[in-house]
Amino acid sequence: MSSDAVTSPSSTGGTSGASTMSDLDRQIEQLKRCEYLKESEVKALCQKAREILVDESNVQRIDAPVTICGDIHGQFYDLKELFNVGGECPETNYLFMGDFVDRGFYSVETFLLLLALKVRYPDRITLIRGNHESRQITQVYGFYDECLRKYGSVNVWRYCTEIFDYLSLSAIIEDKIFCVHGGLSPSINTLDQIRIIDRKQEVPHDGAMCDLMWSDPEDIDGWGLSPRGAGYLFGGDVVEKFNQTNDISSFVGHISSSWRATSRCSTTRS
């Protein structure tokens, strides 16, 4: 086997397979130019990504410092600017909090670039699931149609939506900062309850997994019905109780900008 073959997950490599590291680097550079991959390359990339993601926790632990990124929604050039400002992976450690696709014109290139970086540098980029990482939602808000338009079939959409099922539901930075795409759930009191969820499925219409992706913080006391028809609204008192129960200092959910977690107990905007 050549010295540049992909052998095992690490901060500088991907997983075993026929593709060499140079092939993966080429694909990353191609995607950075906003050029989409061949269908066969997408299939192989998704297979490698699944081998990595299947071993990650529903509450994936991350070391600080890390830059936390909110919704990208297919805005490829915003993603490029984020890397220009925040630093390229793997020099910068990144947490992307879901909603990679839909609405923007470049959901394919955006998600596949993030996925390729995940395979190349699995310990330096973490991807968690948002409510748009869903078969049903992507058929309404653009990703399905984009895949069909760019590839002439729905195969790439199927490969990507299968990967959605393997994405972590949340992350915790230095065991102190809890991060989730949406918010909290009245069905969940502890992180251990999140850890035992079977995440390898389409996003349910209700229940704990749904709430993690759909709930929103609001200036209320306790819980409220969400106007979005899924998840809940929740107040600061709910967050405070959750933090105390789980011995964590901060909660990060439903953001649309970038933050950098610099220590165990603080986040600063970047």
DSSP-based three-state secondary structure for 129: coil
Q: Quick check: 127 and 114 in contact, CB under 8 A?
A: yes
Q: What is the mean pLDDT of residues 120-131?
A: 98
DSSP-based three-state secondary structure for 189: coil
pTM of the model: 0.87
| Amino acid, res. 221 | D
CATH superfamily for 21-269 is Metallo-dependent phosphatases (3.60.21.10)
Q: Quick check: 60 and 171 in contact, CB under 8 A?
A: yes
Q: pLDDT confidence of 98, banded at 50, 70, 90?
A: very high
Give the separation between CA 248 and CA 165, rounded to whole angstroms.
27
- Check residue 255 and give its pLDDT: 60
Give the separation between CA 260 and CA 270, rounded to whole angstroms.
6
Q: What is the mean pLDDT of residues 3-12?
A: 34
Among residues 73, 132, 181, 254, the one annotated as catalytic is 132
Question: Is position 205 annotated as part of the catalytic site?
Answer: no
User: What confidence tens digit (pLDDT) does each residue in 34-65 have?
Assistant: 998 999 999 999 999 999 999 999 999 999 99
Beta strands in the chain (DSSP E): 59-62, 66-69, 94-96, 125-127, 170-173, 177-180, 216-217, 223-225, 232-234, 250-253, 258-261, 267-269
Q: Quick check: 205 and 90 in contact, CB under 8 A?
A: no
User: What confidence tens digit (pLDDT) does each residue in 61-78 have?
Assistant: 999 999 999 999 999 999
- Check residue 6 and give its pLDDT: 32
- Check residue 267 and give its pLDDT: 34
pLDDT, mean over the chain: 89
Q: pLDDT confidence of 245, banded at 50, 70, 90?
A: very high
Nearest alpha carbon to residue 99 among 128, 59, 139, 60: 128
User: What confidence tens digit (pLDDT) does each residue in 164-211 have?
Assistant: 999 999 999 999 999 999 999 999 999 999 999 999 999 999 999 999
